Amino acid sequence: MDVNLGTAESGPVARNVTEASGSAAAANMDSAALAQQWHRIRARLKAEVGSATFDSWFKQLELVGVNNGRVLLSVPSRFQRDWIVSNHADRLAKLWTQENVALGRVEILTAGSAVPEVAPAARDTEADKPAPASREEETPAAQASAAPASSADSAVSPGKLQFDVPAGFEDAGVGAPLDPRFTFDAFVVGKSNELAHAAARRVAEASDVSFNPLFLYGGVGLGKTHLMHAIAWEIRNKQPERKVLYLSAEKFMYQFVRALRFKDTMAFKQQFRSVDVLMIDDVQFISGKDSTQEEFFHTFNALIDHNRQVIISADRSPSDLEGIEERIRSRLGWGLAADIHPTDYELRLGILQAKAEEMIQRNGPIEIPQNVLEFLANRIVSNVRELEGALKRVVAYASLVGRPITLDMAQDVLRDLLRSNDRKVTIEEIQRRVAEYFNVRLSDLLSARRARAVARPRQIAMYLSKQLTTRSLPEIGRKFGGRDHTTVIHAVRKVEELRQVDSGLEEDVDLLRRMLEGGHSPN
């Protein structure tokens, strides 16, 4: 029968009390007596271990019921279960025996596990047994650790938005859930992200540690989080025995502060240092937070020393992380730092085409003209997230009002978004960015110096000024130290010629253009 039990101390003590037929102990026990016994055991346990330890480890321990002389208890996570089994299983069994001589065995389950309805002997298989010894010869601790894993614990299903992090981290609120959409198959590769994608693939597929740490950095909405989730899914599918933990730097700090508050830093250290792969997103968040940085530093070192993989993401390179201790920045640069550049037109168009195909598969036939995709790829250059949002907005509008998708309709629906993306690039900004990129002084760029190290960047700056601004040639010349408009014409033609024969220069110009259009730093 199913009975809800409760105590004044812990609220609901049991969700299900299962009394197996044929069990003498269960047959002679009513739910009220069972609840009272559990209440007394909790009180004794709290007195023995202290309030702090009890609140950290035992407060969420609930009574599920009894089955063939076994007491079934439940905790939210496998991490809590394993810790209790390792440290207090024998004591729990003894406390129950003192309360009820018929109940001398304790089994601890994780929340969501199927409650056994048959005697354990009938359920045992060779795979379930941790040792060849019989159940009667096992200690209570061994019996507890032999609890059968639930299907929820072992299922591999991206659609459930869950991930098998160590010892139930996700259940305890430590790790973050993974998005099933963020896989390698769904990641569109282009020139701006090919290095980061290749490095992420290598780390996910390699059985040993390839780059440690792998540091992914780039602006908002360019795919850092997508790649980190993809790594986690790939490891889950190919190497399920590896323990992977993904979370944001903000959540890392929250967990550390919580451990300090409850005086339980040892459990915190054990959680984060027992993984095979640690993934921390947006590490710039711990900037200026000295205590969190200290703990991150020691966690990082412990994992690296034990050859465990560490993957970090940030919005800028390790050397440019302001407010982060020098020793941490130095260690973040030990492995491979892969930059994800702002997207170019071709990559944006490829992403939109992939998203359009995905929408058609999910929602049925949708007519999305190619010229609409090309228009969006050309006008929305800030980040991929905004680009996808624009496409969804157009498709949703067409579906709700029953209008076909056209270029005029897209312009009308996205009027506010397009206006915010009409970013005005100034000559002064171009000059500053070019000077930073080529590591020359801005004053030299505007001077009469004709050294090649200065002249070529100056010509590129003039070319970009002509391409990205509406200023006239004489105006551009005046901004470059009062030069004549013919000098600007010569610079533009020279750069156009060199782009045809010099792939390095072409790449520099394209990268600078993308940075200026997207408002990103060359670093």
**What superfamily in CATH does domain 427-518 come from?**
DnaA protein, C-terminal DNA-binding domain (1.10.1750.10)
> How many Cβ atoms from other residues are within 10 Å of residue 494's Cβ?
16
Please say whether the beta carbons of 435 and 456 come within 8 A.
no
CATH of domain 5-152: 3.30.300.180
The amino acid sitting at 171 is D
108: enclosing H helix or E strand: strand 105-110
> How many Cβ atoms from other residues are within 10 Å of residue 188's Cβ?
19
345-421: what CATH class? Answer: mainly alpha
- Which distant-in-sequence residues (6+ apart) come within 8 Å of 513 by Cβ? 464, 467, 468
d(CA 128, CA 79): 19
Q: In a structure prediction context, what are the per-residue pLDDT tens digits for the chain, which is 523 residues long?
A: 333 333 333 333 333 433 333 333 443 456 777 888 888 888 888 887 777 677 767 888 888 888 777 888 888 777 677 778 877 888 888 888 888 877 778 888 876 555 454 333 333 333 333 333 333 333 333 333 333 333 333 333 333 223 333 333 343 345 677 888 888 988 888 888 889 999 999 999 887 777 888 999 988 888 899 999 999 999 988 888 888 999 888 888 888 888 888 887 888 888 888 888 999 999 988 888 888 899 899 889 889 888 899 999 998 888 888 888 888 888 888 889 998 887 788 888 888 988 888 888 777 777 888 888 988 888 887 778 888 889 999 988 888 888 888 888 888 888 877 776 665 678 888 888 898 888 888 888 888 888 888 889 999 999 998 888 878 888 898 888 888 888 999 999 999 888 888 888 888 888 888 777 655 444 4
Domains of the chain, by residue range, sit at 5-152, 160-340, 345-421, 427-518
Coarse DSSP helix, strand, coil percentages of the chain, rounded to the nearest 5 percent: 55, 10, 35
160-340: what CATH class? Answer: alpha beta
Q: Cα-atom radius of gyration of the chain, to the nearest Å?
A: 31
The amino acid sitting at 420 is S
SS3 of residue 279 by DSSP: strand
